[in-house]
């Protein structure tokens, strides 16, 4: 490239020319078009365009190389918090189902059909809520696995051993916390499925014997279902909290209550603090 043409470029363009031949080839193609325009008195507007294009190329090249794994962390965080929300919905659906069953069995009306229908509809919503919670947990698991896999890849690119070791230690800690919560979720689902099946069996029995005699025959079964369901709900409440906390720890937007130096409280109010202080 001659000196005159070299002066028409910004420092960004010169850098690309010297280090990346593809930009030099692009220059010659555009310059040929610009020369044809100049022959007809239109000047050389192409030189300004090349300067802008070359600077943009440098910006895109280097920002493309920057790590954005925190975005995957945020996606995993969001999926965990959504899973926590679906667990709460599932617990509420258990409540509604138990109340409708209690109304049917312990407060029977002259016409048993409307209350049976309410119980049946509530049980269907519980099944749907459980399915949604299962799907949300599956998404959270997939997002978290993807995040941890990319964390390993990024860590492998760290040159300084001290920094790399610290990153490995943090990844081990965060992934261990996630695995603990994920295992607890599996254990809870293993208990919820039999509870739902138990309630469905009660519905099936009543659907073929919707009489006062049939109501009396399932009364003890309904009481047993409620006792088991309350234990499940306690476990679900703990699980929902743990999922939410685990999600906050992965998020780049999480308000910290303690500084990294250990022990200095932050004035930012956490989600849990606001929930406890609300009337």
Strand partners, 258: 265
- What's the number of domains the chain is made of? 2
Q: What is the pLDDT of residue 127?
A: 95
Integer Cα distance of 106 and 104 in angstroms? 6
> Could you say which residues of the chain have pLDDT below 70?
1-67, 69, 254-279
Backbone phi and psi for residue 107, each to the nearest 5 degrees, phi listed first: -135, 60
Residues 17 and 110 in one domain: no
- Domain final residue pick, 20, 48, 65: 65
Regarding whether 237 and 200 lie in a shared domain, the answer is yes
Burial 196-221 (b: 16+ CB within 10 A, else e): beebeebbeebeeeeeeebbeebeeb
Q: Is residue 151 part of a domain?
A: yes
Residues 87 and 45 both lie in one domain: no
Please name the helix (run of DSSP H) or strand (run of DSSP E) that holds residue 12, with its range, or none: helix 11-19
Query: Residue 82: which CATH number?
Result: 1.20.120
What pLDDT score does 90 carry? 92
- Same domain for 211 and 245, yes or no, is yes
Q: At what angle do helices 45-65 and 11-19 cross, to 10 degrees?
A: 70
Say if residue 132 is in the same domain as residue 214. yes
Helix (H) or strand (E) holding 169: helix 161-208
Whether residues 139 and 122 share a domain: the answer is: yes
Q: Which of 19, 36, 65 is the C-terminal boundary of a domain?
A: 65
In a domain, 58, yes or no: yes
Shared domain for 10 and 124, answered yes or no, is no
Q: Which residues contact 168 (CB under 8 A, 6 or more apart)?
A: 155
How high is the pLDDT of residue 128? 95
Q: Which domain holds residue 135?
A: 69-251
Mark 87-120 as b/e (b = at least 16 C-beta within 10 Å): bbbbbebbebbbebbbbbbeeeeeebeebbebbb
- Last residue in a domain, options 16, 45, 65: 65
| Whether residue 75 sits in one domain with residue 55 | no
Q: Are residues 75 and 40 in the same domain?
A: no
Q: Record the pTM.
A: 0.63
Residue 178, token pair as written in the block: 């996630």
40 and 94 part of one domain: no
């Amino acid at each position: 490239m001659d000196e005159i043409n070299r002066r028409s470029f910004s420092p960004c363009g010169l850098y690309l020319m010297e280090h990346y031949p593809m930009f030099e080839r692009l220059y010659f193609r555009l310059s040929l078009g610009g020369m044809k325009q100049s022959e007809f008195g239109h000047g050389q507007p192409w030189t300004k365009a090349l300067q802008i294009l070359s600077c943009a190329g440098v910006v895109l090249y280097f920002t493309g190389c920057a790590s954005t794994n925190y975005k995957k962390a945020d996606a995993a965080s969001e999926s965990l918090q959504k899973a926590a929300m679906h667990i709460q919905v599932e617990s509420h659906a258990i409540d509604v189902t138990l109340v409708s069953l209690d109304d049917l069995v312990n407060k029977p009306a002259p016409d048993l059909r409307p209350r049976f229908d309410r119980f049946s509809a509530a049980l269907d919503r519980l099944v749907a809520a459980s399915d949604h919670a299962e799907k949300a947990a599956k998404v959270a698991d997939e997002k978290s696995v993807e995040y941890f896999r990319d964390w390993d890849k990024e860590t492998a690119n760290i040159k300084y051993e001290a920094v790399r070791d610290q990153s490995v230690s943090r990844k081990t800690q965060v992934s261990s916390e996630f695995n603990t919560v994920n295992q607890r979720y599996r254990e809870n689902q293993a208990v919820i499925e039999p509870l739902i099946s138990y309630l469905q069996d009660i519905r099936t029995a009543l659907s073929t014997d919707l009489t006062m005699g049939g109501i009396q025959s399932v009364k003890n079964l309904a009481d047993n279902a409620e006792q088991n369901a309350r234990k499940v709900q306690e476990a679900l409440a703990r699980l929902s909290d743990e999922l939410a906390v685990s999600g906050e720890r992965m998020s780049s937007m999480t308000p910290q209550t303690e500084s990294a130096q250990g022990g200095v409280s932050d004035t930012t109010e956490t989600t849990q603090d606001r929930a406890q202080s609300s009337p």
